[in-house]
Amino acid sequence: MNTTEQKCVMVIDSALPLGLIANTAAMLGISIGKLHPEMIGSDVTDATGYLHAGISTYPISMLKGDESLLKELRLRLFEPEFSGLTAVDFSDVAQKINVYADFAQKTAETQERDHHYYGIALFGDKKKVNRLTGMLPLLRA
């Protein structure tokens, strides 16, 4: 895979408390890594001989969004123009539930319009990702 043709970004609601921003980024990162294990480089050894687990071989931009932008972004992902992109979302439905089976059930019972998105991770064709997110500012603490 060519890192110059692919891109990974996370768009997170900047109005969230810092702990929830961190939790959202962690959940998105775990899921995107599961879907694209080729993003993760091999383990490395330091000069002392200690092992360090591989990290993403792609830079991951953390972008600033808000609830309405995330909702709009999520809906745009269903347009044919953006087919082929991998998208992972994290919403209030997921964040409020600790048992995965309960999350699956609650999601099945919740209409799209009733999800309040905390963040969305995108991975795929750089041009498509840029069309969706290129105008967004970096998320800063």
Q: What is the pLDDT of residue 108?
A: 96
Give the C-alpha separation, 51 to 18, whole Å: 30
Cα-based angle 10, 15, 18 (whole degrees, multiple of 5): 75
pTM: 0.92
Report pLDDT digits (tens) over 8-66: 999 999 999 999 999 999 999 999 999 999 999 999 999 999 999 999 999 999 999 99
pLDDT at 85: 97
pLDDT at residue 86, as a whole number: 97
115, 93 in Cβ contact below 8 A? yes
Helix (H, G, I), strand (E, B) or coil at 37: helix
* pLDDT value, residue 4: 80
Q: What Cα–Cα distance (Å) separates residue 130 from each residue in 4, 37, 48, 85, 136?
A: 13, 22, 40, 12, 9
Report pLDDT for 3: 64
* Res 1 pLDDT > 60: no
CA 22 to CA 103: how far, in whole Å? 20
Residue 49 has φ and ψ, to the nearest 5°, of 100, 5
**CATH numeric code, 6-133:** 3.40.1490.10
List pLDDT tens digits, range 95-141. Answer: 999 999 999 999 999 999 999 999 999 999 999 999 999 999 999 87
Residue that is written with structure tokens 């799209």 in the block? 112
Higher pLDDT pick, 2 / 20: 20
Identify the pLDDT of residue 2.
Answer: 59
Distance between first and last Cα of the chain? 32
What would the mean pLDDT of 72-78 be, rounded to a whole number?
Answer: 96
